[in-house]
Chain A
Amino acid sequence: MTKRHTIGVISFLLLSGVSMAGNKSNDGRSPCLEPRRYFLKLQTMTAADTGSAGVAVKLPSPVVGYVDTSIDSFYYGNAAQSDFQGPLSAVADSTRWFIMADTNNRTLLDTITFYYERKPVFLSTACGYAMVYSLKNIVTTNYAIDSARIEKTEVTNATDVIHVKVFYKN
């Protein structure tokens, strides 16, 4: 085999590989495959008999929603529940939710207002930017809620995180 034949064979083999790889690759903007909205996760608690940790308590028939938008509720469940998650507003520095513990007792309706700083973060050229939040303060009404506290300030794409614990009166 001459030198030029050798070069020709190398070229053919590698260019075949390149063209196959080129056909498979998507050269344009890739589709965004990751979530672009991050949710605050809240857990309802009651004070423990000892210490300050508290224990998770399921609200018997809860409804959770926004106070200041046309979309009234993002959780309407018949099943008892202690963990809730919902979005914070990307256009304001606070968001107010209402939490009704039991649809059979509508007097047990509280509001909880989250105050935070917003920060846009770059995800990728495919997904653009998303908003992350840094919780600063919480204010609640106290019809059924005793108190609330921030457990984790940064609301990002992290999973298995409880950001806020809400303590109900015993």
Chain B
Amino acid sequence: MLLATAVNASAQDVEEEEEERVAIVDSAHQLRLGFDVSRILFNQLQKDKEERISYELELDFYWRKDLYIVAEGGWGNASLNYPDLAYKSNNIFFRAGVNKSLLPRLKQNDWDMAFIGLRYGVGLINRSNANYTITDSTWGTVSGTVAGAGLTAHWIELTGGVRVEIAKHLFLGWNMRGKFMLNAKQFTELPPYNIAGYGKGEKNTVFDFNVFLSYALRWDRKHIPKPRE
């Protein structure tokens, strides 16, 4: 009987916590805009003959039950400049998906999170003319030009990361991403050296990392009065 009472009491506690948690989750909206600060560093670490510049922004909106709707975008350019192969490319990209926080919010102003997420990404790419040279040790060298092209890349991503509120409304956090190209066949003939938002164009699978500094806007949800009985 004692055991039954204890179990009953425990179940009641859980239900109360759950009710309280639902009240926390549904009490406010949050829209967070982030900028990938790691790109500022990586963009400086370029070599003379290889260049990969990119910028990334992230917008996430708290929906409900630890679920965030995410939109990301950015732009960048890349170049390869070797005697045997030289070309450039630039692109913009967009990603959309969701993040699911694995750590529930503990109180009203707790927005720290560790999450996993899923994205669909698309990149619109302009590739310049490419100059190539084939060295033939017997007869000499052959040079040629491959015409530039407009390309579209589609990929999906699995991501995970954290966001911590380091000051009021200001967040710092990181994402790890595994990216999988969906239309790799389009990139067998001279892929861009780098696709901003994705990574090396000739790789079907890419691992990537971001460090986001974000600012959050919050507002209360509209109170909907209960209908009178």
Q: A interface vs B, CB < 8 Å?
A: 3-4, 6-7, 10-11, 14-15, 18, 21, 28-29, 36-37, 66, 69, 71, 87, 89-92, 118, 120, 122, 124-125, 128-131
Contact = CB atoms under 8 A, between A and B. Distances in A.
Q: Give the 10 A-B CB pairs with smallest separation, nearest first.
A: A128-B85, A90-B136, A128-B84, A129-B132, A89-B139, A91-B139, A7-B162, A122-B190, A90-B142, A91-B140
A3 B103 contact: yes
Nearest to A10: B114
B136 A91 contact: yes
Interface of B: 47, 49-50, 80, 82, 84-85, 103, 106, 110, 112-114, 132-136, 138-142, 144, 146, 160, 162, 164, 174, 176, 188-191, 193, 200, 202, 207, 209
29 contacts: A7-B114, A7-B162, A7-B164, A10-B162, A11-B174, A14-B160, A28-B50, A29-B50, A29-B80, A36-B134, A66-B138, A87-B138, A91-B136, A91-B140, A91-B142, A92-B139, A118-B142, A122-B189, A122-B190, A124-B202, A125-B191, A128-B82, A128-B85, A128-B132, A129-B85, A129-B132, A129-B144, A130-B134, A131-B142
Contacts of A89: 136, 138-139
B172 to A, nearest CB: 10
A170 B204 CA distance: 54
